[in-house]
Structure 1
Amino acid sequence: MSFFIMKTAFIFGTRPEIIKLSPIIKLFESKGIKFFIIHSGQHKDYNMNRIFINQLKIPKPKYYLLHKKNTSFIKKTVKSIKRILILEKPTFVIVQGDTDTVLAGAVACNILYQKENNKKKKYYNLVHVEAGLRSFDKKMPEEINRIITDNISQILLAPTKIAKKNIEEEKISLGKVLDVGNTIVDVVKKFRKKLDNNILNKFNLQKNKFIILTLHRRETVDQKKRLKLIINTIKNNINLKNFKIVFPIHPRTESKLEKKIFSKNFIILKPLDYFSFLSLLINCKLIITDSGGVQEEACILMKPCITTRLNTERPETIIIGANILTGYNSKKINSSINFFLKKKRYWKNPFGKEGVSKRIMNSLKKFYQSL
């Protein structure tokens, strides 16, 4: 059975999904494998999604979903994706991560797999890239999205050994579980040579004399006390007085903060394109974040990371000493900042070697040949 006659649907709708699926999409394109892209419309802002499609040079989505205000995003998206999948009849439907887009795509695909698939299961096989991540906090919407998607996927592509172990311990027997690594390794390795070398001059920065701050998660941003505590702790840390604080601010975060909360050493930026952000990561001293993806990028680039959350689905970064989990505790945030500013750290990247996308393609090929 020829691998090249199959068809694959890629579904994304947010910045991290676009970035992490891009190397697989580019590989499929170079190999002449049929595919199409559905954009859920979850991120509408140009700086939060379309700029990455253009910069990473992936094909524009064949389908771009539009949403009316005051309608359920997931419910509407499931219906729209179902209609598209029925029309296209893809062999594989690929989703990445833990967003509402992932859940909507997974549910739509599973409905068709269960009700409309033929006995040979040639259509609507759900592939979850970045399967098995667990924070073990079911109050987080992302955790529910991960668990549901893992439980209904035919192929679960785990980025690390711990993620694979999580799936095995949950005894999810429906799908085939593979430890392939994280596609962000391919992205970082490929594009770090094409970065903007003038980024420091552009923002009047010096190498290793600034830290990067990113905050966007609901459990942080939607509770103003937590958000203000993090900002004030960083602002009042004595050891950061001579550092610039580069804060690419998420639209949700910006709407919750008043400008007067920031001190003079804060540089507030609109969301950055990927190359600019990666350039800043490479040149910074330290990263403070609540983002899962940034924890990975920091680890790969050998940059210490402080995660201002109560838990993380990237425990590998904690275990190897690349990351410290502080919660919303001012003392812990302060002590972690002071620790990383004084001590250099070295670790082995836990997210796999380059070539993750190729391993994923080969895994899908073997699965397809077994149908």
Structure 2
Amino acid sequence: MAPVIRKIEQSELKLTLIHSGQHYDYQMSKVFLEELHLNKVQDNLEVGSGTQAEQTAKLIQNYEKMIIKYKPDIVLALGDTNSVVATGIVCAKLNVPFGHIEAGIRSYDMTMPEEINRRLAGVAAAIHFAPTEQAVVNLYYEGINPKRIYLTGNTSVDTTLEHSVIAKKKSQIMSKLSIPKNKPLMVVTSHRPSNVDDHNNLREICQALIDLSEFSIVFSVHPRTQKNLEKSKLLSDLEKAKHIILSEPLGYLDFLMLMSESTIILTDSGGLQEEAITLGKPCVTLRTNTERPETVKLGVNFLVGADYDKITQTVRKVYKSEEIKEKLRNIKNPFGDGKASQRILDVLLKHLKQDDLKFTEPNFFTRGSADFQLIKLEMGISRDKYEEENKGQITLVYDPNGKPKPIPDKIPKDWVIRFQQF
């Protein structure tokens, strides 16, 4: 979110920054605000921890007060946290336009709180800033108005590219942690409940780390993970392994430096899968699904779950693979080029000037419902002209191979369109 905030501050728009307080200790919150220079927080809701329902309810109540207080023309939130879904719900109820950054990414795993949040945010949002072509298509499938979806890339790429240079100049983490240089470096994080709250899964992950002794391993331990490592008595096993360095959660610049210097990244984080490909690093993901499938399709991210054999075998295979290294050197990042924040600002300025983002009553259906039909084009068409002449909207397109695509302004012959008649 930091690059979007900076772009807004440099524009004609007035910005009010609200901190949810969902992450509330120094290492999980304040250090990021400091390093990303986000010092102009007008209000901190300080909701703290709690169950999913407790935290979301507190956020909804507090965000409603903030929106009534500040009377914004639009509210932005990024990602898939409880803060995001609470923001979306409040905005939809008050009919204040909500812009969702990182819209449309899907794992289709409804056991994940983040997936529930992503889906709900998608329904509530008035405008969607999608990071990838797949994310755009996912929103089409869910019936989102295509005119409200913008392919921008992800702001995480902007932040990673900008701050990786700064991290190399400022961070002293390599010497601070005394990381040896005679072995390849693997950076590890794990915080998902399915991994760290499940004793068997946590044991499998820890044993894999212990046995991957040909690597120097830095394991950045989340507070939730620390608690469960102590509870399950696995912490002492990790501490005895000379090749494993256990670290408290690190600041953004220090962690970015670690990733930049790493050979491979092992994680269950969604965001780190993006940062890995942006930094040209292979990723092994401690999950059986991902909302970043683009990385898997490109062959630079590998899903292994919490299975000891899969973890150890895949890490070793990926490390030795020259083919994967070559892919990462030449790959086009599906999450963007570092200019997402500027695209988001441009879209915001356009729609705010037009004042066309609030939800309105759908009084254009002549038959009482939204009807769709698939039409194969016998000639190329202009999207706007076709919609005007046929009194409707193109809501999805397929290329001649049957693959769904973001809707272009000019749609070629032999493509199939899904048309919604008004």
Which category of TM-score, normalised to the shorter sequence, fits these structures? 0.7 to 0.9
AA of the residue aligned to 2:353: Q
Which residue is 1:57 aligned to?
37
TM-aligned CA deviation for residue 330 of structure 1? 1.8
Matches within 5 A, 1:1-371: 21-67=1-47, 72-113=54-95, 124-173=96-145, 176-195=148-167, 196=170, 198-206=172-180, 209-236=184-211, 240-258=212-230, 259-262=235-238, 263-344=241-322, 345=324, 346=327, 347-371=331-355
Q: 1:34 to 1:60 in 2, by over 3 A?
A: same
* 1:242, distance to aligned residue in structure 2 (A): 3.0
Distance 1:338 1:70, change over 3 A: closer
Aligned counterparts of 2:44 and 2:180: Cα–Cα separation in 1: 41
Give the aligned CA root-mean-square deviation in angstroms.
1.7
Counterpart residue number, 1:11: none
What secondary structure, in the 3-state scheme, does the structure 1 residue paired with 2:149 have?
strand
Distance 1:187-1:221 versus aligned 2 partners, 3 A rule: same
Please state how far the C-alpha of 1:233 moved relative to its aligned partner. Answer: 1.5
Further displaced range: 150-159 or 347-356: 347-356
CA distance in 1: counterparts of 2:258 and 2:49, whole angstroms: 36
Normalised TM-score (structure 1): 0.87
CA distance in 1, matches of 2:185, 2:13: 43
- SS of equivalent residue, structure 1 residue 128: strand
Alignment gaps of 5+ in structure 2 = 356-422
Please give the alpha-carbon distance, in whole angstroms, between the structure 1 residues aligned to 2:164 and 2:97. 34
Q: CA deviation at 1:343?
A: 1.1
Structure 1 runs, 4 residues or longer, greater than 4 Å off: 68-71
On the 8 A contact 1:53/1:60 being kept in 2, the answer is no
SS at match of 1:215: coil
Q: Please state whether the residue corresponding to 1:361 is helix, strand or coil.
A: helix
Q: Is this contact kept in 1: 2:102–2:154, CA < 8 A?
A: yes
- For 1:349 and 1:225, locate their aligned partners in 2 and report how far apart those are by CA, in whole Å: 35
- CA contact 1:152–1:174 (8 Å) conserved in 2: no
Kept in 2: contact 1:164–1:177 (CA 8 A): yes
- Higher CA-based Rg: 2
TM-score by length of 2: 0.77
> How many residue pairs end up in the alignment?
338
> Deviation of residue 197 (structure 1)?
5.4
Structure 1: gaps of 5 or more residues: 1-20, 114-123
Measure the CA separation in 1 of the matches of 2:201 and 2:291: 20
**Aligned counterparts of 2:48 and 2:306: Cα–Cα separation in 1:** 35
Please give the alpha-carbon distance, in whole angstroms, between the structure 2 residues aligned to 1:93 and 1:324.
35
- Amino acid aligned to 1:260: S
Give the conservation status (yes or no) of the 8 Å contact 1:154–1:174.
Answer: no
Contact 2:171 2:254 in 1 (8 A): no
Alpha-carbon shift at residue 173 of structure 1 (Å): 3.0
Supply the distance in 1 between the matched residues of 2:102 and 2:279 (Cα, whole angstroms).
19
CA distance in 2, matches of 1:233, 1:269: 18
Determine if contact 2:22/2:49 at 8 Å carries over to the other structure: no
How far is the alpha carbon of 1:175 from its aligned partner?
6.9
- The whole-number CA distance in structure 2 between the counterparts of 1:80 and 1:218 is 26
In the alignment, residue 244 of structure 1 is paired with which amino acid? S
Deviation string 1:162-208 (CA, Å, 9 cap, x unpaired) is: 11111111212397011100001111121122113543222222456
Report if aligned partners of 1:211, 1:287 keep a CA contact under 8 Å in 2: yes
- Taking a change above 3 Å as real, the CA distance of residues 197 and 222 of structure 1, as seen in their structure-2 partners, is closer
Which amino acid in the other structure matches residue 193 of structure 1? V
Tell me how far apart the structure 2 counterparts of residues 210 and 248 of structure 1 sit (CA, whole Å): 13
Distance 1:70 1:319 in 2: 37
